[in-house]
């Protein structure tokens, strides 16, 4: 679908920044406002605006007031507002997100990253439009409706995960690898008498579908923590750990608290459980042994192994052999021993997956 089907409002009191942003988004339908008051007039006059790039520090009406007005109006809740902040304005970023902004971009502008984020938020808006269209056709045949809703759900999930890959450069191809490792491990583990009745084809398919959501909460973690090349401080690690809470909140919205499904429940167990440890020293709840739901115990070993064999901003990639040694050392402490043994049974298949779907090199240019 062409970029021109998405209308974007650029709000900034800097004519230079507006010119630069307009240039990089030349194939989109862009409108311009130089302060918050002009922005609100444009938004009310153009209900087809999908995305707003909003500077926070402006005369007449600042970006915070625009956010308050936009998200207090139910008719405008479908707007995706992305705030523009300076590198030393972390508190403003948090405040903007609390007021309803869906993302932030720091100045000086990283133009390739800005362009990519706009592409991903455009995908999200298209997915939302499709979902609204589907909901308007609820009298359609049940089978067709189910297929469409699942397709829209998957499109939305993958658009969100693409956004995470843009912000968290260590995550390239992480989604595909973890899905395939989950499938491979489960298909072998069900040969164990203990799990043969649990790990049905349907349940494995569910684990495959929900595995990508394990770190979805990282969307709420600031860039300076996700991309820090060194060890996190205690305060930074405490912020990082909140990605579990953010992830849980994303799939258990208050307005849908009465709604539950196998998909959301399995996703919740993966998100909340994949940082727990078998000996009870993990987070967020310090669960021990089989009190940790099975999806969380499976995801724990998969996520750690994938992190070990791939380069991250804070470490080089470990060899397959060295990574397996670390996994073995975690048997019974970090990881479920039965699942660990099954993981070693399929380590050659795992090697094939990590080799085929290697992380792609990331490149960031400050402009």
Which residues are tagged catalytic? 218
User: Which residues have a Cβ under 8 Å from the Cβ of 336 and sit 6 or more positions away?
Assistant: 278, 289, 290, 292, 297, 300, 301
Greatest Cα pair distance in the chain? 69
Residue 8 has a CB neighbour count (10 Å cut-off) of 23
Of 244, 239, 172, the residue nearest 215 (C-alpha): 244
Q: Is 90 exposed, middle or buried (0-12, 13-18, 19+ CB in 10 A)?
A: middle
- Scored b (16 or more CB within 10 A) or e, 213-231 reads bbbbbbbbbbbebbbeeee
């Amino acid at each position: 679908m062409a970029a021109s089907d998405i209308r974007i409002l650029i709000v900034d009191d800097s004519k230079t920044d507006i010119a630069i942003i307009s240039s990089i988004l030349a194939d989109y339908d862009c409108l311009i406002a130089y302060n918050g008051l002009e922005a609100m007039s444009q938004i009310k006059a153009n209900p087809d605006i999908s995305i707003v790039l909003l500077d926070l520090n402006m005369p007449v009406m600042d970006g915070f007031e625009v956010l308050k007005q936009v998200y207090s109006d139910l008719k405008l809740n479908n707007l995706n507002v992305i705030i523009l902040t300076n590198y030393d304005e972390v508190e403003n970023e948090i405040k903007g997100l609390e007021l309803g902004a869906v993302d932030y971009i720091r100045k000086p502008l990283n133009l390739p990253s800005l362009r990519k984020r706009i592409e991903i938020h455009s995908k999200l808006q298209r997915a939302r439009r499709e979902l609204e269209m589907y909901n308007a056709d609820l009298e359609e045949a049940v089978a067709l409706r189910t297929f469409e809703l699942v397709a829209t759900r998957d499109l939305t999930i993958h658009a969100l995960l693409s956004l995470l890959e843009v912000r968290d450069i260590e995550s390239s191809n992480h989604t595909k690898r973890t899905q395939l490792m989950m499938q491979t491990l489960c298909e072998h583990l069900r040969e164990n008498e203990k799990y043969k009745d649990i790990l049905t084809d349907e349940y494995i398919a569910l684990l495959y579908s929900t595995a990508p959501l394990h770190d979805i909460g990282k969307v709420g973690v600031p860039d300076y923590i996700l991309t820090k090349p060194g060890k996190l401080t205690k305060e930074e690690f405490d912020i990082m750990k909140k990605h579990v809470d953010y992830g849980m909140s994303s799939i258990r919205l208050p307005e849908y608290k009465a709604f539950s499904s196998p998909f959301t429940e399995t996703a919740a167990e993966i998100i909340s459980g994949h940082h727990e440890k078998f000996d009870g020293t993990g987070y967020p709840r310090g669960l021990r042994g089989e009190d940790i739901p099975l999806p969380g115990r499976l995801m724990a070993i998969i996520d750690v192994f994938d992190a070990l064999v791939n380069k991250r901003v804070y470490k080089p990639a470990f060899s397959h052999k060295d990574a397996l040694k670390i996994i073995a050392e975690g048997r019974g402490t970090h990881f479920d021993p039965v699942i660990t043994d099954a993981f070693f049974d399929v380590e050659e298949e795992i090697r094939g997956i990590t080799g085929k779907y290697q992380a792609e090199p990331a490149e960031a240019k400050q402009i």
